[in-house]
A and B are shown apart, each in its own frame.
Chain A
Amino acid sequence: MKRAFPILAIVTAVLLAYALYQALVVAPTDAQQGDVYRIIYYHVPSAWTAFLLFFINFIASVRYLADGKPSTRQAAKWIAVAVGVAGAVAAFVIPLPGGIRPSAIATTVLAIPVFYFLLGKYFPGEKLDVLAVTTAEVGVVFCTIVLVTGPIWARPVWGIWWAPGDIRLTSTLVLWLIYVSYLILRRFSDSAQTQKLAAALAVFGALDVPLVYFSIWFFRTQHPQPVIGGGGSMDPKMLDVLMISWTAFLFFAFLVCWSRYRLEILRREVEQAHAMQSLSGADSSVSISSPAVSTRGSQ
């Protein structure tokens, strides 16, 4: 496991360098926007990565809340399966707005039960909460990049930095604010219920992700149509480079999440050591008059 990290880091570095070369040199120049369109190779993969991380955060949070009681654990399992199956069927039955592919919706919805069971298996108990905070924090970083590179791209193309009232832009900003408040809650709250409160907030935050994604279909917006998942008419060469770039970003996000996950585990170990130390200190101070407390503290 210790060897895997540096190997993965090298692979990621090579992939990122290759993606940068593809984005700046190999990808053809856009006929309308010129070279500035190449911002897409960082802007869009960052958005997709942020959405994926918030999705994992959502599933981990739901599972963490559901696993609190045996009865809710059982019910949540069946709800996850029902949502996956019903959503996948509904994607083909219900008429969707032009451009949205039913297969894309079905795949996304089916990912809910798949991730629900995988995360429960590989991240049992408190590890779900560790995963949730990890994906939220790294997701916020990628979402920040989306919000910064978007206006930088908009300025030369639209002539403005920000389109006030635009639903895609505003909902992305709201998404970012929700997850920043999630992190602030976790950072500054000392309550025993913090983890559950944060998990509940994350569930509401994740509801904004579909709004961000589908806003361009349902509302009039300055933001262009999506490049994949329907409606897009991107040059195949450009699409290839975009996929290479996203792959590199996914590797990078995985590497950062791995580091952040280990950091959170270490932080909890240190916190536990602090608690044990203060507990043993308190026990030794009362052990003369109360041996029972001392016995409990030494366990």
Chain B
Amino acid sequence: MNAIKFLYAAYIVTWLIHVLYIGTIVHRFSRLRREMKEFKRK
């Protein structure tokens, strides 16, 4: 059935959005930790 493609698309897009968002959190965390380490080194 062709409609099943929409079901998979919805589930895939949902997790893609979550993964992308978690990725931005991880990226921001690592950048801020790096900055904090530099401060402490000074």
The residues of A with any CB-CB pair to B shorter than 8 Å are 20, 33-36, 38-39, 42-43, 46, 141, 144-145, 148-149, 152-153, 155-156, 252, 256, 259-260, 262-263, 266-267, 269-270, 273, 277
Contact = CB atoms under 8 A, between A and B. Distances in A.
B6 A155 contact: yes
B14 A149 contact: yes
B8 to A, nearest CB: 10
Nearest to A155: B6
Contact of A266 (B2, B4, B10, B33): B33
Contacts of A36: 3-4, 6-7
27 contacts: A33-B3, A34-B1, A34-B3, A36-B3, A36-B4, A39-B10, A39-B11, A42-B10, A42-B11, A42-B14, A43-B10, A145-B14, A149-B10, A152-B6, A152-B10, A155-B6, A156-B3, A156-B6, A256-B21, A259-B25, A260-B25, A262-B29, A263-B28, A263-B32, A266-B33, A267-B32, A277-B42
Interface string B1-31: 1111011011101100110011001001100
A153 B28 CA distance: 33
Contacts of B10: 39, 42-43, 148-149, 152-153
Contact of B13 (A38, A152, A260, A273): A152
A256 B19 CA distance: 11
Interface of B: 1-4, 6-7, 9-11, 13-14, 17-18, 21-22, 25, 28-29, 32-33, 35-36, 39, 42
B21 to A, nearest CB: 5
Determine chain B's interface SS by DSSP, over half rule: helix
Contact of A38 (B2, B7, B42): B7
B3 A145 contact: no
Nearest to A146: B14
A263 B22 CA distance: 12
Report whether over half of chain A's contact residues are helix, strand or loop; otherwise say mixed: helix
Contact of A35 (B3, B14, B35): B3
Contacts of B35: 270, 273
A42 B11 CA distance: 7
